Homo-oligomer: A and B are copies of this chain.
Amino acid sequence: MKITALAGGVGGAKLIDGLSRVLNPSELSVIVNTGDDFIHYGLHISPDLDTITYTLGGMANPFSGWGRFEETYNMISSLEVLGGQTWFLLGDKDLAVHLERTRLLNQGYPLSSVTSKFCHAWGIKQLILPMTDNDVRTVIDTVESGELSFQQYFVENKYRPQVKNIHFSGIETASPAPGVLEAIEQADGVIISPSNPWVSIDPISHIPGIGSALKKKIIIAVSPIISGSAIKGPAAKMFSEMGIQPSSVAVFRHYSQYLSGFVLDNIDKSRSHEIPIPTLVTQTIMKSTQDRVSLAQSVIDFLQTL
């Protein structure tokens, strides 16, 4: 059984972790959002790729969900003394990844090759693919501050500004990274992780060629919105600011053109009748590794019924 998952950051990484514990490594491919990538201190930072690879490499911080396990912050403490920019928390171990990625990109290697090289070094056997090797950047147009890069919006401004619009700069001319279309075409099913639909999944599905490849497949999505709220991050706030009542049903509608099945939490059971395709109602909140494994297994079982 070959599964391809689409994922953004922390929420997505939890389900990917579960899937990696249920499937053989060769059965799982992950297409990762790079719309959040940005240049900081001259370094190319790929937050979602890092979160996914740190998770699959067993290096993730189990408390925050992002960043590295047993991380130290001596660089950034020293940077603070110098009056440097400390709004983006760069861990010391984390920095190695940004430095080496930047060095290789500057040598002309595409991001997909760099990612593959890092996965090999870390012993990650699943196929981890950035959505594209091109620069696609999520831009958040806000009421208070105009256009902000995603990290400015999300980290520097703690997603407080009100969102007017979201667009993905450079997406019209971007192409899927090598392996992305094949991973979709060869999959028995595609899983959309419980990541932010607006800024984690939309950048992937909007890349020319990816959306049409997805429409040919059996796809299920796991709602990141439970009882009208997101577990983490601005997903629910974004729905509201885009004029849509946040709910798992709203997530279903957001993705409806692609979906064969939809997974929503037990808490939202009463709303499953509003979803006109097969649903799986189960526990989707992942507090423990066992929760991740259980959800991953349920999602795969559900996929096999479609």
Contact = CB atoms under 8 A, between A and B. Distances in A.
Given A83-B121, A92-B72, A121-B83, A78 B103 contact: no
A72 B106 CA distance: 27
A150 to B, nearest CB: 20
A117 interface: yes
A63 interface: no
Q: Assembly of this chain: how many copies?
A: 2
Question: What's the dominant secondary structure at chain A's contact region?
Answer: helix
29 contacts: A41-B99, A41-B102, A42-B42, A42-B102, A42-B103, A42-B106, A68-B78, A71-B74, A72-B74, A74-B74, A75-B75, A75-B92, A75-B93, A75-B99, A78-B92, A78-B93, A78-B95, A81-B121, A81-B122, A82-B117, A82-B118, A82-B121, A84-B96, A84-B99, A84-B100, A84-B103, A85-B103, A92-B95, A95-B95
Given A75-B93, A82-B96, A83-B121, 16 more contacts: A41-B99, A42-B43, A42-B103, A72-B72, A74-B93, A75-B95, A76-B96, A78-B92, A78-B93, A78-B94, A78-B97, A81-B121, A81-B122, A84-B96, A85-B103, A92-B95
